[in-house]
Amino acid sequence: MASVGIIANPASGKDIRRLVAYGICFDNLEKVNIVKRCLLALAATGVDRVMYMPDYYGIVPRAVEGLSKDHQLPIDIVEADIEMTGTQIDSAHAALKMNQAGIGCIITLGGDGTNRMVAKNCGDIPLLPISTGTNNVFPQMVEGTIAGLAAGVVARGLADFPAVHPTKKIVVLKNGKPVDMALIDAVVLKDIFIGSRAIWDEERIRKVVVTRGEPDNIGISSIAGNLHPIGITEDKGMAIDIGPGNISLITPIAPGLIRPIKVADYKILEIGEEVKGETGPLVIALDGEREVEVGEGEEASFKLTFDGPRVVDPRQALRQAVAKGYSQGEQALGKLHWLKEEN
C-alpha cells in the first residue's frame, strides 16, 4: 500500500514580516487549492492512503469537499491522531504520527520554519516541501500537481537517490548539550528575550551559521550566498561574524528588505565541525524564528552535520519513474478508472 502524508501549516506566510517588510500574504484558500491538485495527482499515481495534519482552518478536509463529483478520490484519507495546539508543535506531532504509520513521503506546505518542525520527527521519510511561507530556502516553488505526482512515485518506490537526497542541518548546543536544530541557518542575536519570533533587524545579528546559501535566497542565508555560495548537496557550510570589517554586502534579509551588512570575518565549515564560544545572554533564531534563549554565563555552540531530512527533487523523481514506465500502458491508465466521464 502506497501512502503519503500532508502537513499544511495554516499560519505560514502570515508573520510580522508582512508589516515590517513586503512579504506576500499566502492565504489558506490558496493552500486548499494546492492540496486539491496534490490529491488528484496522488490518486493518479496509485496512492492508496493519505494521512494529514488537522488544523484550525481545515485545509485538507476543505480540499476534499471542494472537489467536483467527477473527481471523487479512491483514496483512504485519514486525520493524524494528534491533540491540536494551533502552534508549530502540531507539525512536529503530525510528522511523528506519520513516521510511526510508515508513510512513504510527506508533502509539506509552509516555509523554512514549518519544515524544521517536521524534520524533527519525520525520520527517514522523504519530504516534498512546497513553498508557502516567508523564508523559503528549504521548500521549493513547485506546482501542486507536480508535487503530488512526485510524492506519489516516491511513495510507490519508483524513485530513489539522487532524486531523493539527504540534506544538512545545524545542531544547536547549550553548554555542550544538544537543544535544537536548524535546516538552513542559526542566527545569534543581541537579544535577551525571544519577543517577536521573526527576524528583520540586521543590527541585532552577531553571528550566522548556515548549511547553505545562494545569492537568490531570501533571508539571512543570503548573507552567505553573497559571500561564497554553498549548495544544498555540498559537503560544507559557513560561519559568519557580523560587525565592522573589510567586507560590505547588500543582501535581501526579508522580502523587499534589502540591507547593507558588515562582515567582520567568515569561515567555511566542514561536515562535523563545531563552532564554539558564543556566551549569553543572547537569543538564537533558527530558520528565521527566535527559538532558543541562552542565559548569562551559558555558552552556545553549533555543529554542522549531514543528518537532515531526505528531500525529493520532483523533476528527477518523475524522470526516474518515467524511465520505469509508470506513466505508460494499460496498468497506468487503469489508475484513472475513478474519473467519471463528463456528460
Edge-to-edge strand list for the sheet holding 164-165? 76-79, 49-52, 3-8, 105-110, 127-131, 311-312, 164-165
Q: What 3-state DSSP class applies to 291?
A: strand
The pLDDT, as a whole number, for residue 114 is: 93
User: Minimum mean pLDDT among 24-33, 150-159, 318-327: which range?
Assistant: 24-33
Buried b / exposed e along 16-27 (16+ C-beta atoms within 10 A):
ebbeebebeebe
User: What ranges make up the beta strands (E) of 22-168?
Assistant: 49-52, 76-79, 105-110, 127-131, 164-165
The label of the residue with cell 480540499 reads 63
Percentage of the chain lying above the pLDDT 90 cut: 70
Answer yes or no: are the C-beta atoms of 238 and 230 closer than 8 Å: yes
Over residues 297-303, mean pLDDT: 95
Q: Is the pTM of the predicted complex or chain greater than 0.85?
A: yes
Confidence of residue 307 (pLDDT cuts 50, 70, 90): very high
326-337 pLDDT, tens digit each:
888 666 666 777
Confidence of residue 228 (pLDDT cuts 50, 70, 90): very high
And the C-alpha cell for 198? 521573526
Higher per-residue pLDDT: 211 or 289: 211
157: left (phi over 0), alpha (psi -120 to 50) or beta: left
Nearest partner of 5 among 139, 113, 147, 116, judged by Cα: 147
Confidence of residue 33 (pLDDT cuts 50, 70, 90): very high
Percentage of the chain lying above the pLDDT 70 cut: 89
Q: Give the number of other CB atoms < 10 A from CB of residue 227.
A: 21
Over residues 182-198, mean pLDDT: 79
Show the domains of the chain with their CATH numbers: 3-166+309-334 (3.40.50.10330), 169-305 (2.60.200.30)
The pLDDT, as a whole number, for residue 333 is: 65
